[in-house]
Each structure stands twice: as structure tokens, then as C-alpha cells.
Amino acid sequence: MSGATSAELVARLGEQVTAFSPKVVSIMIGTNDIATAGLGPEVYRANLVSLVRSVRTLPGGPFPVLQPPNPVDPAKWPGRVGLPQYAQVMGEVAAQESVVFVDHYTDWLSNNGGQVPLSLLNDGLHPNERGHHRLALKMIKDLRVFDVGSRVCSLRIP
């Protein structure tokens, strides 16, 4: 949901997810929390814990997967320079709650010499087609469903 915060997701999780009867619920949130008054790291942490626990209580007991947001261009989005702390909080919650953590934040930086890979972003914040493909591949690999013969896994974007 574009523009959503973890607090909004906590409030609407059931209506957003139950209609799909999922087996897995992927949660990637935090970029907007950092730019929203009153949603500091500790509120974010509490919201993530609530989301994970709520997902587990949904019909069918789907498995939650936490994914921190991708890094953003601090020159264009200075209000989000604290994003590394939010990614760290999400990793801590994933460990605490024993859920899969697909760490896009670290992946993007470590594969670009510690710098934000601007070539993966449309506007310095949102991933472009190459960025979305990288997110998908990382998730597929971390969930151990990578198949070199699939069109998604073998896709190359110039």
C-alpha cells in the first residue's frame, strides 16, 4: 500500500490479507514510518511484533516473512537517513519472533560498495524494474525456491 506505515498496516492487516487465504505473508514496511511523527524505532518495533503475531493467528496460520525496505538516496530523501536503524530493528524482531528475514537493505549496500545503488531506484526512493527484480530474486533465494530454469530467476534486465 503506497504511503502506508506500520501503524496503518496493524490496523488493517486482517482486511488486507485474509481475503487471499495466504500460506505466506510478506511484510516490507518502514520507509514511511521514519518520516511520520510519532512512529519512532520503538513504536515500529512494537508494530512489527504485532504484525508477525497477528499473521500467525490468521486462518490457516500463514508464515510471516519480514523484509526491510531498500536503501534510499539520502540526497533526495534526507528525511529518511535513519532507515538503517529501522532495518536493524526489523532484523531484531525477525530473530526474536523466529521468522524469515530477507535483508534487502544490507544486500543492496553490500553489493554496491556500501553505497545506495541508484541504478535500482526510479526516484531515489522507489525501486525501478531492476530494483524490483533484485528484491524478487533475493526473496526467492532466501526462501529456497530459486530455480535457474524459471523465467523469473533467469530473467536479465539491462
pLDDT digits (tens, 9 = 90+) for 23-38: 999 999 999 999 998 8
| Predicted confidence (pLDDT) per residue in 40-52, tens digit | 999 999 999 999 9
What is the share, in percent, of the chain residues with pLDDT greater than 70?
Answer: 100
**Distance, C-alpha 20 to centroid of its chain:** 19
Residue 148 pLDDT > 90, yes or no? no
Q: Report residue 115 as a C-alpha cell.
A: 553505497
Strands ordered across the beta sheet of 63-66: 24-27, 63-66, 100-101
Higher pLDDT, 153 or 47: 47
| Predicted confidence (pLDDT) per residue in 62-81, tens digit | 999 999 999 999 999 998 98
Q: Which residues pair with 27 in a beta bridge?
A: 66
Task: Say which residues have a Cβ less than 8 Å from residue 10's Cβ, sequence separation at least 6.
Answer: 47, 50, 51, 54
What is the SS3 assignment for 121? strand
pTM tops 0.85 = yes
| Predicted confidence (pLDDT) per residue in 80-119, tens digit | 989 999 999 999 999 999 999 999 999 999 989 999 999 9
